[in-house]
Amino acid sequence: MKPKNTSVLLIYTGGTIGMVPNSETGALQNFSLEQLQRHIPELQKLNFRIDTYQFDPPMDSSDMNPGAWQHLVRVISERYAEYNGFVVLHGTDTMAFTASALSFMLEGLDKPVILTGSQLPIGVLRTDGKENLLTSLEIASATHSDGSPLVPEVCIYFENHLLRGNRTTKMSAENFNAFRSFNYPPLATAGIHIKYDYMLIRRPMPGRLRPHLRLDDNVAVLKLFPGIRREVVESLFGTPGLRAVVLETYGSGNAPREDWLLDSLRSAAGRGIVVVNITQCCAGTVEMGRYETGYRLKQAGVVCGYDSTTESAVTKLMFLLGEDCTPGEIRERMQQSLAGEITV
């Protein structure tokens, strides 16, 4: 039984889930939230109130940006007291970035914020959107017997799995099962019943929601590959205004031992640019003391990113830079878990 007056805010940002084929041209176009009721009559059977908020115009998530994240944080924080939970309909392409950003920007969150979307539009017969949306709404409204929310976290729900948002990566442009959280198990699995793994779900910290709106996007990602050219690396580190770099390394955090690369990294650290070491592998963690190649990076001032996803590292850096942290503070906080995003 749900407590009386349970309500969820459904926020539609855009993405495939909210597109319907135009009956004349067949092209996919965005639809309004009212049309949703028509495509999912099951919504009326849910025994709680669903209010809606729509981005105008809806966005393909390839256009997602820090400004849209600020908009989302404003929408959620201004209505925070009114709802038991929030469901965000979002394109799949950058959903993992948005989920990661929200997990840092919504400090002190003690209600569910569930992002979902679909690979096929809601109006298509074989759509995965219907189940994704209905189960996300169920999860966003689910409470313990004392009325406290079951999942007070930013999550992605997709194809039967509830994943911690800042641990998630889009893995498939084809399969319904499009997202994975390689370094943290699912928080819940939906079959006939929704089975929650309570031990894995974060317990909210006591205190109020503290929304953060400032982000600094002077961040870059540098993915290493055998043969990467010195000019490319040096030009990236010479970018005006650059303040942080996510360095995607090999295996457990290794990089070529070229002197010019280590010099570039040392010089960047000396100029206050924070460089964070993330592995290119899907699963596992960076251990900078394991091989000599990783150890040299550490000596050059590179910070260990542990088992962070790139999505999480990029948005965490934007968040910390926006908070006006010093390079020293950023280096320290990149090695601490702020919202369950890394295992240290």
Positions annotated as catalytic residues are 16
- Is 61 one of the binding residues for ligand ASP (CB under 6 A)? yes
| 22-30, 91-99, 159-167, 272-280 -> range binding ligand ASP (CB under 6 A) | 91-99
DSSP states along 223-268: E--TT--HHHHHHHHT-TT--EEEEEEBTTTB----HHHHHHHHHH
Place of tokens 């009325």: 147
Q: Which of 11, 93, 264, 294 binds ligand ASP (CB under 6 A)?
A: 93
* Cβ atoms of 92 and 117 closer than 8 Å: yes
Residue 132 CB, shortest distance to ligand ASP, in Å, is 11
- Is 129 one of the binding residues for ligand ASP (CB under 6 A)? no
Residue 202 CB, shortest distance to ligand ASP, in Å, is 26
- Is 91 one of the binding residues for ligand ASP (CB under 6 A)? yes
| 13-21, 65-73, 154-162, 280-288 -> range binding ligand ASP (CB under 6 A) | 13-21
Q: Which of 28, 46, 53, 60 binds ligand ASP (CB under 6 A)?
A: 60
Our CB check for ligand ASP shows the closer of 60 and 287 to be 60
- Is 235 one of the binding residues for ligand ASP (CB under 6 A)? no
Q: How far apart are CA 266 and CA 269, in angstroms?
A: 5
Q: Which of these, 106, 77, 99, lies nearest to 157 by C-alpha position? A: 99
Please state, as a whole number, how many other Cβ atoms lie within 10 Å of the Cβ of residue 212: 16
Beta bridge partners of residue 9, listed in sequence order: 51, 86
- Is 117 one of the binding residues for ligand ASP (CB under 6 A)? yes
- Is 62 one of the binding residues for ligand ASP (CB under 6 A)? yes
- Is 153 one of the binding residues for ligand ASP (CB under 6 A)? no
> Judging by beta carbons within 10 Å of its beta carbon (0-12, 13-18, 19+), is residue 221 exposed, middle or buried?
middle
